[in-house]
Amino acid sequence: MDFSLSESDRAFRESVRGFAARHLAAGALERAHDPRFPWDVARHMALAGLFGVMLPEADGGAGGSLFLAVLAMQEIALACPRSADVFQAGNFGAFRTLAEYATPAQKERFFAPLLKGEKIAAVAMTEPDAGSAVTDLKTTATPDGTGYRLNGSKIFTTNTEDASVFLVYCRFGPGTAGIGSVLVEPGMQGFRLGNPSRYLNGERWCALYFDNVFIPAGLVLLKEGGFQKQIAGFNVERVGNATRALALGEYCFRAAKAHAGTRRQFGRPLMEFQGLQWKFAEMRVALDAAELLLYRAAVRAADGLPDPQDVAMAKFACNQAGWLAANESMQVMGGTGYSQELLVEYCLRKIRGWMIAGGSLEMMKNRIAEGIFGRSFPQRPPDRPR
């Protein structure tokens, strides 16, 4: 087994590192505390060809692998944690699901502005009564003439206020088999946003309300029976979640290491206290182990869509390792780590959200257990199957 990067992978990583140092490192602190989407970063990335890294060249992408996208995201996050969300929007998330399943007409309409960094897409799956149990979603698309009427609501959609297209999970019929998705744009009649709420990570989200919104047939992404495909696309989003959690943990680790080398108490540098050395040892082991699981998930995604079990293990490990590293780094750095003059506290708040978003830690463990025992474990009461 060869753990070294190929020449071309290393060259790509170096080029992204250079880009991040030139365009992203300055202003990282201000960006982290601005709740809105950093469009300046999106435009820089688009110009540098960092949007659509995994997209086929025929669709305007770079034709790269999931592994290359992971390497790029790590470099970006280490220079500017907030900018990693921009890379996510232009490569993973709704973008990737669209890339996989959109019709040629949908690609033509939506991809050009997404690839130029002028617009972003958002995923709207969660509802007030359908979180982890996402297949309980109630938003319906019912046939009406040449299209459908969309009714229902969504919560927790990342980038709500900045998105120009929403990939909305909805129900064309009963049960999991009835779930598909449609594309909704701001300004469509009957579609409105609720008042902004704020997450612990500083970002804002608004509820989405669909009141008899007409969806022309051309804006249906996947009809009934599309749920498994959507989740296959969503597994790529989970890799983006895992990569950012890991990279932000690494960011904190490096900040704490530098701090422990220079900060002196009791007449000696902090790094000479064994109680802190052991924290570094535990963080290093957790981060490296999680990175191996992440790389395995990415490298084995031969057709671009990773194995769900690989992803569940990688996300669980990266969320946990990132959290451990951010939390222990903050402890090592004392009041300096807890203060908003540095990004450690920001990274901690971001990672905390990813332990819930994109499939919580508990849901990842449920999935891992299913893989271990080779069978499904329905979570619903026997009288309420889906």
Ligand X SMILES: Cc1cc2nc3c(=O)[nH]c(=O)nc-3n(C[C@H](O)[C@H](O)[C@H](O)COP(=O)(O)OP(=O)(O)OC[C@H]3O[C@@H](n4cnc5c(N)ncnc54)[C@H](O)[C@@H]3O)c2cc1C
| From candidates 6, 8, 132, 228, binder to ligand X by CB under 6 A | 132
The residues that bridge with 147 in the sheet, in sequence order, are: 144, 216
Site for ligand X in 72-131 (CB under 6 A): 122-126, 131
Task: Output DSSP code: residue 251.
Answer: H
Among residues 131 and 194, whose Cβ is nearest to ligand X?
A: 131
Evaluated on CA atoms 101, 74, 322, 306, the torsion sign reads: positive
Query: Please, which residue, 199 or 209, has the CB nearer to ligand X?
Result: 199
Q: Minimum distance between the CB of residue 134 and ligand X, rounded to whole angstroms? A: 7
User: For ligand X, which residue of 91, 249, 353, 367 counts as binding (CB under 6 A)?
Assistant: 353
Instruction: Between 319 and 327, name the residue whose CB sits nearer to ligand X.
Output: 319
The residue range among 98-106, 266-274, 282-290, 349-357 that interacts with ligand X, by the rule CB under 6 A, is 349-357
Q: Using the rule CB under 6 A, which residue among 34, 118, 144, 362 binds ligand X?
A: 362
CA–CA dist 15, 242 (Å, integer): 22
The 171-210 contact track toward ligand X, x by CB under 6 A, reads: ----------------------------x-----------
For residues 65 and 374, what is the distance between their CA atoms, to the nearest angstrom? 29
Residue 157: what residue type?
Answer: T
Cβ–Cβ under 8 Å, residues 90 and 42: yes
Instruction: Establish if 152 lies at the interface with ligand X (CB under 6 A).
Output: no
Concatenated DSSP letters for 28-70? HHHHHT--S--HHHHHHHHHTT-SSTTS-GGGTS----HHHHH
Residue count (the chain): 386
Q: Which CB atom, from 74 or from 159, has the smaller least distance to ligand X?
A: 159
Binding residue for ligand X, selected from 276, 356, 368, 370, defined by CB under 6 A: 356
Whether 255 and 344 have beta carbons less than 8 Å apart is answered as yes
What CA–CA distances, in Å, run from 22 to 25, 91, 147, 220, 347?
Answer: 7, 21, 48, 40, 21
Window contacting ligand X (CB under 6 A); options: 100-108, 152-160, 254-262, 306-314: 152-160
- Contact at 8 Å (CB) between 323 and 286? no
Binding interface with ligand X (CB under 6 A): 122-126, 131-132, 156-158, 199, 353, 356-357, 360, 362-363, 366, 379
